[in-house]
Amino acid sequence: MLIAVALGGFVYAYWSGYLFPNYVTIFHAGSLSVPLQKIGEEFSHKYHGVRIAFESSGSVDAVRKVTDLNRSCDVLAVADYRLIPEMMYENGYASWVIIFASNEMVIAYTDKSRYCDDINSNNWYEILSKPDVTIGRSDPDRDPCGYR
Average pLDDT (115-134) is 94
pLDDT digits (tens, 9 = 90+) for 71-92: 999 999 998 999 999 999 999 9
pTM above 0.85, yes or no: no
Q: What is the pLDDT of residue 101?
A: 76
Would you call 29 helix, strand, or coil by DSSP? strand
Cβ atoms < 10 Å from Cβ of 73: 17
Chain-centre distance for alpha carbon 7: 16
Q: In the chain, what is the greatest distance between 2 CA atoms, to the nearest angstrom?
A: 58
pLDDT for 143 beyond 80: no
pLDDT digits (tens, 9 = 90+) for 34-46: 999 999 999 988 9
CB 105 within 8 A of CB 79: no
Domains of the chain (ranges plus CATH)? Answer: 2-89 (3.40.190.10), 105-148 (no CATH)
Q: What is the pLDDT of residue 146?
A: 63
- Give CA–CA dist 57/134, Å, rounded: 25
- Give CA–CA dist 26/92, Å, rounded: 19
Tell me the pLDDT of the chain averaged across its residues. Answer: 85
- Residues with Cβ within 8 Å of residue 116, at least 6 apart in sequence: 109, 110
Average pLDDT (10-15) is 59
Paired strand residues for 52: 24
